[in-house]
Every structure is written in C-alpha cells, then in structure tokens.
Structure 1
C-alpha cells in the first residue's frame, strides 16, 4: 500500500499535510539525509583549506562541484542512500559511501578516505539537525509567527477605542478596552520571542568522545579545537559546543523548545479568551457559503479555528516538553535515546505551524458586535463604584469603600439612575457630584 494522505498514521502527514508541506524540506528523512551530505561535503572542503598534506594538491575549482552534490540533492539520491543503508545498517555510513561514489564520478577517488575523516556519526547528526532546526525557524516558523503578530497589532489599532466590560474571576470588573487586551498578548509574545532570539543554535563537533582523538593522533601539530570552532561557526553558522561527550549536550536546543512552548502557551491563552468572547456574543464570525457549523443544528457557527489551534498547540507543547526534558540527559559519554527522539523534532514544529495558521484564520473571521459590548457595560453600572470610592478617598470622605459596598452588594439592579441618586446623597460639593456623575462604564477605562 503506497502512502497517501488518507492512510497516513499521523494527521500532519494526512489531514493537515497541506498546511505543513514547507517543513518537509527541514524535518523529513530526505531532508535529514541532505543536511548530513551538506556537513560531510563542507567538512571535506574545510580539510582542503587547512590544507592537510594529502589534500594540498586538491583542485579547489572543484569545491563548487562538490557543493552541487547537496545543492542538487534529489529524492533519487536519498533513495540511493537508503539502499546503501540496507547493507551498512548505519545511516551516516551510508551517506559517506554515497559521497565516495560521487567522488568516483568526479574522478577524485584518491581523496575518498578524507570523507568523514576522524569523525563519529554524531559530529554529522549534531551539526545537521541543529542546522535544519535553525533554517526551519528562520524560513518557516518566524514568518508564520510574524504574520499572526502583525495581525494582532492591526487589531490593537482597529479596536483601541472599543470599551469592554472586564471580568476577573468570571465576574464583572473595572472596564477595559478591547484593543488594550489584545496588546497584552502582543507584548507577551514579543518578550518571549526576544528571549528565543537570544538562544544560540549549538552543535557538537569533536570526534568519537569529543576530544578530537583521531584528528590529534594523525596530525598532532594542527589546532583541531580551533579548526572545529571555525568550521561550525563560519561554515555552518552554528555555535560550537566544546567540550562535549560523544554527543551535543542539547542544553540550548532544550532552551529553544521551552521558549517555543511558552509562545504556544500564550497563544493558547489567546485562543481561549477569543473563544470565550465568541460565546459571549462579543464577536460574530464571517460565514463562508456552503460551510456547515453543526451536523444537527443549522444555526451554529462554531469557533473551530481557535479550538483547532488550542488542540494542536497543546500537542506541540507536550512534545516540546519531552524533548527539552529528555535530550540533555544521556548515560555517560552517550546512549542512543537522543537519536530516535530527534527524529521527531519536526512533529511539534508541524503542530505549532498548524496552530498558528488556525489562530490567524479564526482572527480573520471575527466580526465585532459592538452592540453587545455596549449592552454589557450598560447592564453593569456597579463597576464604576471603584472610581467613585477612589475620588471620595481623594476628598477625605469617611469610609467611602464601605458606602459603595453597601450600595453595590444589594440584590437590586444598579443603573445610571441608581448611581446618580446615590451620588446625590453624598455630603460633597456640587462640583464633586458633577465629577462623579461624568463617570460611566463606557468611559472608565483607564489609560
């Protein structure tokens, strides 16, 4: 049975594949193989640039031909490597053998033994995977993040003057403005994104147990630590972790996953708030012709985009949590648990992208119901009690809090007339009474 979107086990390769197609270039098996080839090729070129004595006569004009091996990497090449792996039963060794075949094609066979020279497979995995994550972040995640951030910024402006009844503990509270409430989320997102940007993309590169043992025994006069740092930082654009065991310690990668998780958590909070506002009739939703909201109730237009986002971001966070908790832990100089876990790195990224796109889709369907905002404010005149008692405190009025408490905790409905009549009973000047009567639920919204 050939794989299709209908028989895929994971929904990110099935139902949601069209939403995350771009991630395949970074997190698929083919992508991982391509990144491994890239690192191996660039490493060989770096050895030529030292140069090692045996590579001093290498024709440097062939460097671009070598880079074409990964630049023009195809699905056919990946399948070729997988066929080699069936024999080697080792994925990185299969990449080495594939490149050796390409050296034969380029008539540079005598240099083949300097492919993967002195390395262990983790020197390749622990550079290829961080590089793929870094490029996926820059090429896919950040643009999606910025789209939703900029949409929220537009809504801040669009809704900046919309007064809204606030709710604390689910109860009516001092009024706010809708634009300001959206701005809260924008500031939270920006602050976490700034922290995320400070996290380096780190990579291990140091031989079998991290000490350049093989390199040093073969060429003891070369500063291999300096070479490794220059290669990782200048050739690959990553931060060189040193010293390490046989594997990268993944502390920075764990920090990245934790930062992504925090951003997702803020978006879940946003999803739930908007969902609640929809349920309160603060927002209507744009209706697309032909769409069905419920299989049984024709009137329904459900806030499914925010629900879809919340669900996918929750799955992403569960996986990011496991990755950040597990990856920094490895028995002694290494065990294999990181290998199988790292193969799932693309999964939480995919669910995150689905979540971001769903939130954006939901936001773009919202239609402001200003009449409902106004109605709720008008029905809750008790919320101006805070304002009145604060001014009375300013004027030295005795026990103002208790006076307002007595008024607002009765079972009688408080409206504009009730509040105005109460103000008339206060032993304050007409000027203060006039000031108090200017306060309404719609204009008591702060700064």
Structure 2
C-alpha cells in the first residue's frame, strides 16, 4: 500500500523537524529496546552471570540498529503471539543467535518499554531546549532594537498608556523564560525505571543472583550508569509512575499557553498593521483576495498550541486511573499523546523561531495611531502645565473636558481625525502653554521606564537565564515547513 493510501499524522509528515520525527520513529523505538537489552546483558555478565558470553555481547552490539526487514518480521510474529516485546526478543535472537537464550534475562516487558520512554522524554526535551533558547535570544535582540520605539498600549483591547515595542516583547520573553525553567526542571528530574522486575520488587533478579541483594542493587545502578542517567526511581510497580508523564507534559502544555498568547498578539498587531510576521515574496495570502497577507505562521502556532495544551489532560487522566502495580489501559493512549506532545511542541517552537527571526515593524503606522490617541492622554499634562502658569485646576479641567468631547464627536460620528490639539491651539484660554504643546505631546515622555526596563531585563534577567546555554545559540536561518 502506498503511503498516499493511508492516513499519516501531519505532525510528522508535514510539520515536525527531522530529529524529533526520528526520535519517535519505529526504528528508534525498537533500536532503543535492543540498546537496553545489550546494556542489561553487559551488567549481568559483569556481575557474574556466566551464561552471557563475549560472543553474545558482540552479536547484540553489532545488530543494535533494527533493520526494515526485522521490523517486518517482528510485526508478523506479533500477529501470532499478540505481544510486541516478545516478538522483538524472538527476532533479535535470530539476528544474534549466540545471545538468543539470554536476551531479556530476568526482565519484564516494561524494562524495555518504560526505560525507552524515559529515554525519549529526556532526549525530546534536549531537542526542544535549544530551539526555545534561540526563540528567546532572537526575541531579545528584537526587544533591544525597539526598546525606545513608543507604541500605543492596550488594556481590554482599548487604547491605554503608551509603552514601547521592545517592552511589549519582554512580556513574551518573560513567559518563555519560565517555560525554559520548567523544561530544565523536568529534564533534571527524569530518571530511569531501571531493573525492577515484574511488580517492582526485583524478585526475578534476586533469584538470578541467588539471593544476593547487593548484586541486584549493583545491577540496577550499573544499567543506569551504562545508559547515561544519574539515577533510577527508587520505587516502581511494573511501570514507572505515570505521574512522570504529567511532570513532563505539564511544561509542554504551559509552553503552548505562552506560544498561543504570543501568536495571538502578532495576529492582532498584523490587523493593526503595526507589526507583521515574515511574508515571503512568492507567498500567497488568499486564493481569491490576492492582496491579503494572512498571518498563517501565527495562526499555525495558535492552532497547534491548543492541541498541545489538550494533551496534558491525557497524561493527567492516565496517571489518576492506574491500578495498583499496573494496568494496560495506559499503553495505547501514551503511544499517541507523548509523541504528539513532543512533535507539536517542536513544530510550535520552530514556527515561532521563524516568526521572531523576521518580524516587520511599521513605525509610521505606529506613530499615526499614537497621534490619534495621544491628545486625549496628554490632557492631564495640559492641566498640570496650566496650573503651573497660574491657572485654576477645576476651570482648566472643564475646558479640557468640553474640547475633548468635541474632538471625540468628530472622530466617532463624523469619521474625522482627532483635532483636539488644534482646538487647544485655537483656544485663547490655553495661550500660556501653546509654546509647550510639542514637548507636552512628545510620545517618548509617556512611556515611563519602558526603555530602561527592557534593557535591564534583556542584559540581566535573560542573560542569567541563558548562562550555560550559549552553545545552543545559532545564527542559522529559521526555515518554515510547508
């Protein structure tokens, strides 16, 4: 059957990166199982199991990467025995005949399935962190570049006090820094299930080593060491606690929240024509409306971020309904939700990196919008300046109120421009401050400490958060998938 004749998830076939797709591929999964069996055999031989020969280890090592034919053979075997792990034990034994009798010695299926999943969780985060670091780094460059550019702030999506383009970007960056912190915490917490046996008691390994408890503990520690982990969970049932999946998918879902908020802001700014995501010279915005520049990248981020947030519920629900030492109703859903979460997070970050690497700012549009709203915001400055010239605060307030309402009527009912400043200039009452109006209306005097906050945040907070991660920062062009 052609791949065009069956459903393929667009997460892997359309969007995700090569490295993340390979991590959760069939070949990587089954080759990781073989890696686990090989390292278990090494540790068992080191601790005195004479049935494991050097030839057996050599054959296991030489055939650690599963071939297409072996995957097909294991699939056929599984159709007979209805057990995926034993199917691969059978096929690996044919490939490495000297080791056929000792593969999976003392282990339960979860030795390979669960330990492999923990390896994938760890390696998946290792793929995501560099991408997140680069999003933060490039967005920080953007923030510094535009730290002094005044822009109209919005609360309730209504005009509010001015901020700067750079300061607004710090709001996005700060949440991304929290996501980086959460991912690094989750990464540091991941251990191995280790060698714990059928219900977590290590009974089979105690039998294997003739009741020698020390050797069983050494076996557990040695396998963990061989596989590059710092520790194994001290207590497991047949599986590692599914709460570990919760602890990993939670920061991924949280990243989805950050990404959705960022992309929504970009979509709104694109509508305001103040900031746009990159738009390629040959890109088509609409099949009918040739003039359109739809923010398709940001829309993709929003769409997939919602999916990413929803996958956390799979992990939480699964963890809560496990029975005693294990139940199998976790298996099928985890095959879907865990790879989906990592593939989706990978796509979201790659798309965000493409967006932040090419954001386009339109200062003239920003200036025009400021000028349409600033006169109203500056009225308090007018009142204070008049009082300093000897005017009466209450009388001045009433004058400003009347002129403001007249200007607002022109804007709202007649569709005209905000002419409040012209009204102030033409009113003899305000003659004492006519010469100061330009200064009183300078947008840079309305942004508070936004430029200073932005510079300090990037040079101190961001720099500290990225300390030790500089090797991940790249100037490579951020490509967008189809």
TM-score by length of 1: 0.84
1:280-319 residue CA offsets vs partner (Å, 9 max, x unmatched): 0113565534432112222111111111111012112212
2:232 is paired with a residue whose SS is strand
2:370 to 377, 389, 400: 377
1:192 to 179, 199, 211: 179
Hey, which of these two has a bigger chunk of helix by percent?
A: 2
Aligned to 1:35: 32
**Residues of 1 paired with 2:132 and 2:384: CA distance?**
42
**Residues of 2 paired with 1:342 and 1:20: CA distance?**
21
Deviation of the 1:399 alpha carbon: 8.2
1:157 aligns with 2:117: no
Aligned to 1:334: 326
Tell whether the 8 Å contact from 1:36 to 1:128 is kept in structure 2 after alignment: yes
1:198 is paired with a residue whose SS is helix
Does the C-alpha gap of structure 1 residues 102 and 444 become closer, same or farther in structure 2, counting only changes over 3 Å? same
Does the C-alpha gap of structure 1 residues 411 and 329 become closer, same or farther in structure 2, counting only changes over 3 Å? farther
1:23-67 residue CA offsets vs partner (Å, 9 max, x unmatched): 232212332211111111111111112223544xx33x8756533
Aligned to 2:351: 358
Tell whether the 8 Å contact from 2:285 to 2:293 is kept in structure 1 after alignment: yes
1:74-113 residue CA offsets vs partner (Å, 9 max, x unmatched): 3233223223323322111122223322332xxx35xx44
Between 41-50 and 20-29, report the one with greater CA deviation: 20-29
Aligned to 1:299: 291
Alignment of 1:384-399 (within 5 A): 384-385=378-379
Tell whether the 8 Å contact from 1:174 to 1:386 is kept in structure 2 after alignment: no
Structure with the greater relative contact order (CA < 8 A, sep ≥ 6): 1 or 2?
2
Alignment of 1:93-132 (within 5 A): 93-104=86-97, 108-109=98-99, 112-132=100-120
Does the C-alpha gap of structure 1 residues 393 and 238 become closer, same or farther in structure 2, counting only changes over 3 Å? farther
Alignment of 1:5-404 (within 5 A): 7-14=6-13, 16=14, 19-55=16-52, 58-59=53-54, 63=57, 66-70=60-64, 72-104=65-97, 108-109=98-99, 112-138=100-126, 140-199=127-186, 200-205=189-194, 206-219=196-209, 220-223=211-214, 224-237=216-229, 239-284=231-276, 287-327=279-319, 329-344=321-336, 345-381=338-374, 382-385=376-379, 403=397
Deviation of the 1:356 alpha carbon: 2.5
Tell whether the 8 Å contact from 1:202 to 1:252 is kept in structure 2 after alignment: no
Coordinate RMSD, CA, aligned: 3.4
Between 232-241 and 28-37, report the one with greater CA deviation: 232-241
2:152 is paired with a residue whose SS is strand
What residue ranges of structure 1 are gaps of 5+ in the alignment? Answer: none
**Residues of 2 paired with 1:244 and 1:392: CA distance?**
75
**Residues of 2 paired with 1:94 and 1:398: CA distance?**
91
Tell whether the 8 Å contact from 1:303 to 1:362 is kept in structure 2 after alignment: no
Does the C-alpha gap of structure 1 residues 169 and 418 become closer, same or farther in structure 2, counting only changes over 3 Å? farther
1:167 is paired with a residue whose SS is strand
**Residues of 2 paired with 1:79 and 1:296: CA distance?**
47
1:151-193 residue CA offsets vs partner (Å, 9 max, x unmatched): 2122112222211000101111110011111122112111221
1:118 is paired with a residue whose SS is coil
Number of equivalenced pairs: 428
Does the C-alpha gap of structure 1 residues 94 and 377 become closer, same or farther in structure 2, counting only changes over 3 Å? same
**Residues of 2 paired with 1:446 and 1:13: CA distance?**
46
Between 261-270 and 21-30, report the one with greater CA deviation: 21-30
Does the C-alpha gap of structure 1 residues 123 and 152 become closer, same or farther in structure 2, counting only changes over 3 Å? same
1:229-251 residue CA offsets vs partner (Å, 9 max, x unmatched): 44225534264122121111122
1:380 is paired with a residue whose SS is helix
Aligned to 2:470: none
1:346-368 residue CA offsets vs partner (Å, 9 max, x unmatched): 12222222222333334445322
1:373 is paired with a residue whose SS is helix
